[in-house]
Amino acid sequence: MKTRIKDDSISSRGMRALEVNAEYYGISLIQLMENAGRNVAEEINLRFPDERKISVFCGLGGNGGDGFVAARHLLDEGYSVTVILAGKGRDISHEAALKNWSVLQSLKGKVEMIEVTDSSALPQVSADVVIDALLGTGTKGQLKPPIAQMVDYINSLSAFKIAADVPTGIESDTGEVLGSAIKADLTITFHREKIGLKEAKKYVGELVVKDIGLPKELEHFVGPGDVYLAKKPRSSTAHKGDFGRLLVIGGSEVYSGAPTLVSLGALRTGVDLVYLAAPAKVAYTISSMSPDLITIKLDGNNLNPDNIETLKPYLNMVDAVALGPGMGLNPETKDFVKQCIAEVEAAGKPLLLDADGLKAFAKYKRPLKVPLVLTPHAGEYAILTGETLPENQEERITSIQKTAKKLNAVVLVKGKVDIICSAERFKLNFTGNPGMTVGGTGDVLSGIVGGLLAQYVDQFEATVAGAFVNGAAGDFVANELGFHMVATDIIDWIPQLLDDPMSHLKVRNPIGK
């Protein structure tokens, strides 16, 4: 398998999301583990054809599984192999690692296997090469027994030391030493260099990056891993407001449904409070639709500059703003949008612009000093930019990314394949179906993204996750009702996709439309 030396790096959470997405698209964790472990064995076989004694120190997680695979391949190459496990085999919880441990069990007569539960009783090993497969990229906090003692023992050995992925004891995102760490002669990391390795060179030794079967294109495909990145853990001690407050501004004498859908979508996403600001008659109508919505009654039949003073206290109170759904394009409303955006910017709050808000923004568009998300369909994108999107997907991505850079925004162009771009990154989302051409589905999307922004999720990650959840929820509805859906049907499926995004595989081919 080809070795790559790459300048780019990846965070531990980014790598974990990529692994989840790989499984979603059909590349199993056990395949990745097999490739990783085989790479370690091949590197040893290449470098040490004459030194035949290998000791592999393994943890109970995925990194340990990489070590189990390496041990099996080294055994096949004729090396004398000892596997030292930090704990009991029955405590291995990682499914792929457990399968590879079970394979080693059947080779007990060929490979020596030692389980260490007492840090004061470390086995004495005699080895030419030692593999560190104790802890991987997710390590946080100070090392605990027996890992800490194993690290010190490995460092005391004269053998050549190879770390699998990350030297144990190094925080993979920062390079921090977690009490003590393996001082490797060689670190074999997988797929891409981990960020913290740049800051821990004296522990890393020589660094090589190995392919493990993750195609570069996969990094641009949205999947369940992106939802896990965006989902905020909810502790038992959480209080009202800990999960954000969102202000939705929209509605007009013609439209009341759009801002309602945004608000309900945000609530289902987990935001604690949604304030919905609309012209008074519309706000009263919306209040009658759901007792869950807090409405702010604004003077006038349409949004107008005189409403700004009423909104200022709420702009300071909330954590994010969604502006535009159903507000119409009266001249006074366009003036309102310009002034409102300035006030949102002054308040320092993330802003999502959709629908009529986008169209009004198009006349004086500029980069903002706050996180900005724009969610147009192709027609709205043409109004925003004055340019029609090309048919070719690569050219589309280039165009959208250019706009994202110019406006310092994240731009999600909705379509058969959703394209999400920042100045530096892009992703493609394949969830969704033709039934979602019904009115209101884009409003639900705005609610999901706005709800995540209010929970302090990074604007790109919030938009990517929102696209997946909205489309996947629509796929569940289509599976249940066919294409005879309405937007409120989608809202009911949002919790399912946030709690178990991988469940989408039950109803759709992930790249099928």
The CATH homologous superfamily to which domain 3-220 belongs is YjeF N-terminal domain (3.40.50.10260)
What pLDDT, on the 0 to 100 scale, is given for residue 509?
56
37 Cβ contact partners less than 8 Å away, ≥ 6 residues apart: 65, 66, 67, 68, 69, 70, 71, 72, 73, 100, 164
Q: For the chain, give every residue range classified as CATH 3.40.1190.20.
A: 224-236+243-506
The series of mean pLDDT values per 10 residues for the chain, 513 residues long, is: 55 94 96 98 94 94 97 96 96 96 92 89 91 91 92 96 97 94 97 94 96 95 98 79 92 92 97 97 92 95 97 97 96 97 98 96 96 97 96 96 98 97 96 95 98 97 98 96 95 97 84 44
User: How far is the C-alpha of 446 from the C-alpha of 469, rounded, in Å?
Assistant: 11
Asked if the peptide bond before residue 146 counts as cis, ω within 30 degrees of 0, the response is yes
The three-class DSSP label of residue 375 is coil
* CATH placement of domain 224-236+243-506: 3.40.1190.20
User: How far is the C-alpha of 354 from the C-alpha of 411, rounded, in Å?
Assistant: 11
Give pTM, 2 decimals. 0.93
Q: For the chain, give every residue range classified as CATH 3.40.50.10260.
A: 3-220
C-beta atoms surrounding 107 within 10 Å: 15
What pLDDT, on the 0 to 100 scale, is given for residue 494?
98
Cβ–Cβ < 8 Å for 246, 315: no
What pLDDT, on the 0 to 100 scale, is given for residue 253?
86
Q: Which residue pairs, CB below 8 angstroms and at least 24 apart, start in 472-476?
A: 472/431, 472/432, 472/497, 472/501, 472/504, 472/508, 473/444, 473/497, 474/431, 474/432, 474/433, 474/435, 474/436, 474/441, 475/431, 475/432, 475/433, 475/504, 475/507, 475/508, 476/504, 476/507
297 Cβ contact partners less than 8 Å away, ≥ 6 residues apart: 278, 279, 280, 283, 284
What pLDDT, on the 0 to 100 scale, is given for residue 326?
95
486 Cβ contact partners less than 8 Å away, ≥ 6 residues apart: 438, 440
